[in-house]
Amino acid sequence: GENVEQHPSTLSVQEGDSAVIKCTYSDSASNYFPWYKQELGKRPQLIIDIRSNVGEKKDQRIAVTLNKTAKHFSLHITETQPEDSAVYFCAASRRRSSASKIIFGSGTRLSIRP
C-alpha cells in the first residue's frame, strides 16, 4: 500500500546550523508533497509544499527538494533558531485525485540547542 517513510525520528542541531529531514514515498503517482510543523500543544501547520513538476522550492530559511526518480524529498532549514523546535511531518498525495488520500510520514522531532 501507499507509504511515506521519514528520517530521522529525532534530530538535535546547534542553533545557527542547518537541519535536514528526508522522506521517501512509495506511490509513484504522488504529485503533491507538503510539509507541516507542529509545535507542542498546537495543530500542524503547513510551512511549505512542492508539486511534482518542480525540483526545488525555497521560502526564506526553509527549502524543499524533490527527486521523482528516487521518490524522495527533503526539507532543509538553514540558520536554525529556537523557534524552529517542533515536530515536522512530511506527506505525499495525488493532487486533485479522488482516488488517493494524503499519507503522512511518522514525524521528526527537531530540537535546537542554544
Applying CB under 8 A, which residues contact other proteins?
32, 34, 36, 42-46, 49, 89, 93, 95-96, 98, 100-107
Select 32 or 65, whichever has its Cβ closest to other proteins: 32
CB pairs under 8 A, 24+ apart, for 8-11?
A: 8/108, 9/106, 9/107, 9/108, 9/109, 10/108, 10/109, 10/110, 10/111, 11/108, 11/109, 11/110, 11/111
Select 13 or 104, whichever has its Cβ closest to other proteins: 104
Select 85 or 93, whichever has its Cβ closest to other proteins: 93
Residue 99 CB, nearest approach to other proteins (Å):
8
DSSP category for residue 93 = B
Residue 44 CB, nearest approach to other proteins (Å):
5
Measured between alpha carbons, how far is 77 from 70 in angstroms, rounded to an integer? 21
Select 47 or 63, whichever has its Cβ closest to other proteins: 47
Residue 78 CB, nearest approach to other proteins (Å):
24
Measured between alpha carbons, how far is 107 from 111 in angstroms, rounded to an integer? 13
Residue 107 CB, nearest approach to other proteins (Å):
5
